[in-house]
Amino acid sequence: MRAKLGWAGLLLALLVPRLPAAQPASAWGAVQGPAPGPLRIVGSTGLGCIQGAEALPPDGPGYQAVRLSRNRNWGHPATIRAVQTLAAGARRAGLPDLWIGDMGQPRGGPLTYGHASHQAGLDVDVWLDLSPKPRVPVAARESIPETSLVLPDQSAVDPRLFTEAHARLIRMAAELPGIDRVLVNHGIKRSLCAAHAGEPWLRFVRPWRGHDSHMHIRLRCPPGSPECTDLPPPPAGDGCDATLAWWLTPEARQPPRGGGGTPPRLPAACAGILSAR
Opening angle at CA 201, ends 198 and 205, nearest 5: 100
Q: Please provide the DSSP assignment of 141-167 as one string.
A: GGGPPP---B-TT-SSB-TTT--HHHH
pTM: 0.89
Looking at residue 126, its amino acid is V
What lies within 8 Å, CB to CB, of 82 at 6+ separation is: 124, 176, 177, 178, 179, 217, 219
For residues 263 and 169, is the Cβ–Cβ distance under 8 A?
no
Instruction: Say how far apart CA 238 and CA 206 lie, in whole Å.
Output: 9
Judge whether residue 51 has pLDDT over 80: yes
First to last CA, the chain: 50
13-48, pLDDT tens digit by residue? 444 444 334 679 999 999 999 999 999 999 999 999
- Give the pLDDT band of residue 184 (cuts 50, 70, 90): very high
Q: What does DSSP say about strands 59-60 and 63-65: parallel, antiparallel, or unpaired? A: antiparallel
Q: Which of 187, 179, 136 is nearest to 157 (CA)?
A: 187
54-82, pLDDT tens digit by residue? 999 999 999 999 999 999 999 999 999 99
126-160, pLDDT tens digit by residue? 999 999 999 999 999 999 999 999 999 999 999 99
Classify each residue of 149-168 as buried b or exposed e, where b means 16 or more C-beta atoms within 10 Å of its C-beta.
Answer: bbbeebebbeeebbeeebbe
Instruction: Say how far apart CA 75 and CA 34 lie, in whole Å.
Output: 10
85-102, pLDDT tens digit by residue? 999 999 999 999 999 999
